[in-house]
Chains A and B, each alone.
Chain A
Amino acid sequence: MSFEKVMMSDSKREKISHSVCVGGPMTLHTIDGVIRRVRPIVFTDDDPAGWVIKARGKEYTPQRKFTMSLLGYCEKDRTYAYDRLKYPMIREDFVETPDGKNRNTENRGKSGYRRASWDEALSLVAREIKRLQKTYGKETITACTSSHHSWGLVGYKISLFKRFFSMMGYTRVADNPDSWEGFHWGTPHSYGYYWRLGGPEPYDMLEMAMQNAETIICWSSDPDTSRGGYSAQESALWRWWMKEMGIEFVFVDPFNNYTSVKHATKWLGPRMGTDAALLEAIAYVWITEDTFDHEYVRQHGHRFEEFKNHILGLGPDGTPKTPKWAEELTLIPAMDIKALARRWAQTPTTVGSGMRGGFGGACRSSNGTEYARLLTLLSCMQGMGKPGRAFWGPGCGAPMNYNFWFGGYSDPLASIAGYPVCDDVPVNSVEQVLYRPNLPDAILDGHYEWYGEGFCGGGVDLEFTRHVYPAPGCNKVHCFWRYGGSFFGTMLDTNKWAKMYKSPELEFVINQDIYFTPETRHADVILPACTNIERVDIGEVGSSGLGGYCSHSESGNSWQVIVYQDKAIEPLWDSRSDFWIFSQVAARLGWGEKFTEGRTEEEWAKRFWQFSDLPKQISWEDFKKKGYYVIPVSMKEEDKDPKTGLYENWIRYPGFQWFAENRACDTMNHKVFQEEGLLGTFSGKFEFVSESLTYWAPDDEARRPIPQYQDSWEGHKSLSADKFPYGLISPHPRFDYHTHYNQHAKWLWEVPKNRVVINGNPYLVCHINTEVAERKGIKDGDVVRLFNDRGSCLCVARVTNRLYPQTIHAYTSSGIYNPIEYGKYKSWDKGGSINVLTPGRLIGDYVPAMSPYSCNIDVEKVDPDPNYGQGWEHILDAVDKQQLETERPIRTSAEADLLFGEKEAQYKKEAI
């Protein structure tokens, strides 16, 4: 954090505004244009009453504040971070050759930069776009963006970014469902819900579980860490309530995770990639002991007999899936497997995977689709939807008001690229598409083919559409515009991304970001954006939108809060809002007015208010003044408990109850056929033998018609296990979000389970079993090298009993990527970018899913060279010292608007 100087606090001069980040909605205090502090929103008497859940003789209601996570409290540190981009920059050895060749692309990643004026940088971008489009056509430019490097509906990727690039025309990069691959590609074939991308219905499940459940199984799930996705720490208190009322928690995860060490009655740590075998053995116990729900399976199951035969060893493989069989694969004693199977059958039990039930690392393995399908089928065998028996993760499903509409993040109706928010909907004129996990392969090899759309919410048939790059009649991509955040920590086989950037195929690379991230350092031109604290926006927290697939996921919050994200401080240094940057490029390309529709950012923000249910409750002026609005769980006074004044009634739609009770579906976000009591599979039932896979992909080796365990292409039985005997578990991080915090907010480096600073370098923490550490001479706090044939990553070891010897744990999504020899492929990474180790291979030919949980590694102790410091700050320091001689520096965005406003007419003329 670098203020110019330490300042004196004075609350009389404090100004209060609000904003949102992935850590939750925030109250910002500023003094003289500098952030003083970041507080949670603490509700006042003006805000509505909360809900009350009555269960087992007690009443439970949330605290009257929104519980931010640690990330929200880092916002001051992150805003004034040492790695902020202060000025537009151009790579110092970049040459603007007229043919796009000979541009020293091999130096991307290690070259320094020179400071540029906005005019110079933007003019270069516009010139290059015109040249590239003229030479190769519109498809030659591609662009992609992370999720939530900043927050707000105006600035979000399906809003502003989509508006700009659709208007310009570009080769879209399809996202893969990176956090829940196995559910997306698996469970539509077992229980439907392709329109929820494989996830279950969370509706009112918290109350249902608190009243009825006796066991909660968190499979591959660490809810205190994954925080419901975007729900900060809102659900943490619910789990204490449930534990304290006597519900028993069981955790199945190769790492005895942070929620588990606090809540678990029993923890089981299977070997990586063997979860499906464990589930098959549980089914074996139920079938042989006759402890499953026959009537339910008879009514709602499809071709159960064949599944049963497969489990009993009467199928083609002839192997009974006994607990002993599973013990050899999972290394969990058969007696523990039987005990869990019986507990699950005998008590009302909920089971869920990952943060919202249909997530979790286990589904991101080569066997992930089969694990996910089996989990839903086992839920069917125990009467899913009956009281206390659910497929649900205890990080969502709180009471909420389903009848209040505000288009949350990723809702197609809440985008400045679509109706009703904009008047003129831009349509991308380019049909060519790339696929994010294989973007480097496509660029480097010049050819790539795959099956499936990134997100197949429109139907299972979309999983089987064939794509070819370059698309027929299209040119290859020669320009990459990377916007916001770094994929180096999140996409697998990270080193191939670094390799891609060096390719001369990419004639021009633009990076638009707030920070000097690992990917930013590979750009030719860097456009510095400001944070959403430095501009106006509007947002809520937790929702994945009606069209955002995990519809109503804001039920991961105790409170539904919509925030007017006021500009708390002016953009720092020469940074500008993303809206301003895109508008300026659009102006130079001749369609500036078409892009903005004459609206300012605040006027765009107001459109989201206007087209929501907010105007019925609060005027724009009052909303702006107050800064936030809390949606009451009911709008009716008579729904309150007269004794406590808390809402005891609201419209309830317990998830999946309709199906168990054989009635028309009454939950939100359903399809018409569910009103006939059917699921979204071919048969309308739970498919123990999948008809859709039999129809579409009978030759699919990853997904068999009957879901079943298969040895991984990279697991304990593969050849590489001889060299690299440990399975790497790399879950979504507890102390970061995607890659958006760890490089920027140094406060996070002081969390001993996150990073340890040695010789100035913040090494990521990895967890190694006590026995392994002893055998390898590794002590707690030592620097170790995790490695395989793909790369090496230096970490600090935590020696622990929280995992078994076969597993090593390190969180994915390191925002820091710092090869010791910068720019050298496969150089040891000291930044903790664990995905230099994970395989780029997709789950299967028909399953274009990444599979970080299929990763074999080895570990050794190393002595860190004291010179392993940060490897790139000198680049920023050098730019800091440069002065612009040619042009008057622009100090404020208002000034800049004025200046560029004058020029716009001129650009327009030039463009014509």
Chain B
Amino acid sequence: MLKKPMKKPGIAINSARCMACYACFMACKDEHCGWDTALSKSQPEMGQYWMNIKEWERGDNPRRVKTATVPTPCSHCDNPACMAAAKDGAVYKRDDGIVIIDPEKAVGQKQIVDACPVGAVYWNEALQLPQKCTMCAELLDDPDYPGFEPRCVEACPNQALVFGDLADPESNISKLIAANKVTQLECLGDMGSSVVHLNIPQTFLAGTVAYPKELEEVCIGANVKVTGEDGTVYETVTNWAGDWEVEDLPRGKSWKVEITFDGFKPVVYDNERTDVDHYVGITYLEPAI
């Protein structure tokens, strides 16, 4: 019974707004370390990350580097693999969709940890207990608790984490999801979940265009055409720094990059791959005689 009646409480996680400040990570530890509740046993001081921040560096050349940050709690899946693996109903899904590991029944059931495709369930060696995020359901259910959001959401300074009713199309969370690109965790495939990831980036291709080397001038406004194996075309122009970038290309593909600028010979790169986020290089144009 959540304070504000919600059919399907959920958290939207917008990677485009996350700066990996770890406030959510620490708020989660603050809530769950040192104290038992009806829904979970105390988390050990170290070793478990119910709100795990996955972070990777993007870019194979210092000239273009960004990072991707994906706060990753339990997804509270629609068909939880952990529930299927559990015996004696040790994992259950509440009517509102929140997935809970029963701290009594789950003792000794390590297979619950192994079953999770996200890696969001942790093994407590001392208690012989699988443990994970509860979406702070014990707080949200509690009429005496003064807060009204899970601790991680309350802690986020950037509104990268948003809590609300997924079943209500008018809720802030539903509107946010509708306005952004849903990027479900790859390991979950098509499965729905109460935690919805938005804007997890794929790969970029980037580069710089310059006039002939001896001029030491970047080229502004050069046309860049990126063509995929399936014929998909992306077009962009170089900015004030001579840089170009095509974001969010599918990973592991080959691309043809064509650079053109009036009065200069076109430059073509036939096989630029997006196995990693890739900086094609500095392209020095040559005059078209």
Contact = CB atoms under 8 A, between A and B. Distances in A.
A12 B144 contact: yes
Contacts of A36: 35
A9 B65 contact: no
Interface stretch (A71-79, A305-313, A395-403, A724-732): A71-79
A18 interface: no
A723 B121 CA distance: 49
A6 B36 contact: yes
A64 B203 CA distance: 36
Interface in B1-33: 17, 19-23, 25-27, 29-31, 33
Contacts of A747: 26, 29, 33, 45-46
Interface stretch (A150-158, A354-362, A749-757): A749-757
A646 interface: no
Nearest to A76: B30
B251 interface: no
A827 interface: no
B274 interface: no
Chain A interface size band reads 35 or more
A436 interface: no
Nearest to B37: A9
B154 interface: yes
Nearest to A1: B45
A1 B34 contact: yes
Contacts of A715: none
Contacts of B79: none
B168 interface: no
Interface stretch (A254-262, A418-426, A466-474, A872-880): A254-262
Given A9-B37, A265-B239, A269-B62, A224 B19 contact: yes
B217 interface: yes
Interface stretch (B52-60, B169-177, B190-198): B52-60
A61 B22 CA distance: 23
B34 A6 contact: yes
B243 A266 contact: yes
A774 B243 CA distance: 28
Best-surrounded residue of B33, B217, B243 (most CB of chain A within 10 A):
B33
B207 to A, nearest CB: 14
Say what secondary structure dominates the interface of chain A.
mixed
Interface residues of B, number: 54
Contacts of A804: 62
A254 B138 CA distance: 46
A358 B138 CA distance: 46
B19 A258 contact: yes
A757 B217 CA distance: 47
A474 B224 CA distance: 74
A69 B23 CA distance: 6
Contacts of B23: 67-70, 73, 233
Nearest to B217: A335
Contacts of B37: 8-9
A802 B57 contact: yes
Give the interface centre of A259, A323, A334, A339 by most chain B CB atoms within 10 Å.
A339
A323 B216 CA distance: 9
Contacts of B36: 6-9
A801 interface: yes
Contacts of A69: 21, 23
A769 interface: yes
B155 interface: yes
B241 interface: yes
B217 A338 contact: yes
Given A36-B35, A42-B154, A258-B19, A751 B216 contact: no
A39 B21 contact: no
A269 B64 CA distance: 11
Interface in A63-93: 63, 65, 67-70, 73-77, 80
Interface centre among B27, B34, B145 (most CB of A within 10 A): B34
Contact of B62 (A14, A65, A233, A769): A769
B130 interface: no
Given A9-B36, A751-B25, A753-B55, A335 B218 contact: yes
B155 to A, nearest CB: 6
A226 to B, nearest CB: 12
A233 B240 contact: no
Contact of B33 (A1, A233, A751): A1
Contacts of B138: 9
A624 interface: no
A3 B66 CA distance: 41
Contact of B34 (A42, A76, A334, A343): A76
Nearest to B127: A6
A167 interface: no
A77 B216 contact: no
A11 interface: yes
A569 interface: no
B216 A338 contact: yes
Interface string B135-147: 0001100101111
Contacts of B142: 11
B49 interface: yes
Contacts of A3: 34
A37 B37 CA distance: 13
Contacts of A7: 34-36
25 contacts: A7-B36, A11-B142, A16-B146, A37-B151, A40-B154, A68-B23, A69-B21, A70-B22, A73-B23, A224-B21, A233-B23, A236-B21, A256-B65, A262-B67, A265-B239, A265-B241, A265-B243, A269-B62, A335-B217, A338-B217, A339-B240, A343-B240, A747-B45, A749-B46, A753-B20
Given A224-B21, A256-B65, A338-B217, 17 more contacts: A1-B45, A3-B34, A9-B36, A38-B30, A42-B146, A65-B154, A67-B23, A70-B21, A73-B29, A236-B19, A256-B62, A259-B19, A261-B66, A269-B62, A335-B242, A753-B55, A769-B62
List of 9 A-B pairs having minimum Cβ-Cβ separation, nearest first: A73-B26, A233-B157, A67-B157, A6-B42, A11-B144, A70-B22, A334-B216, A261-B67, A70-B26
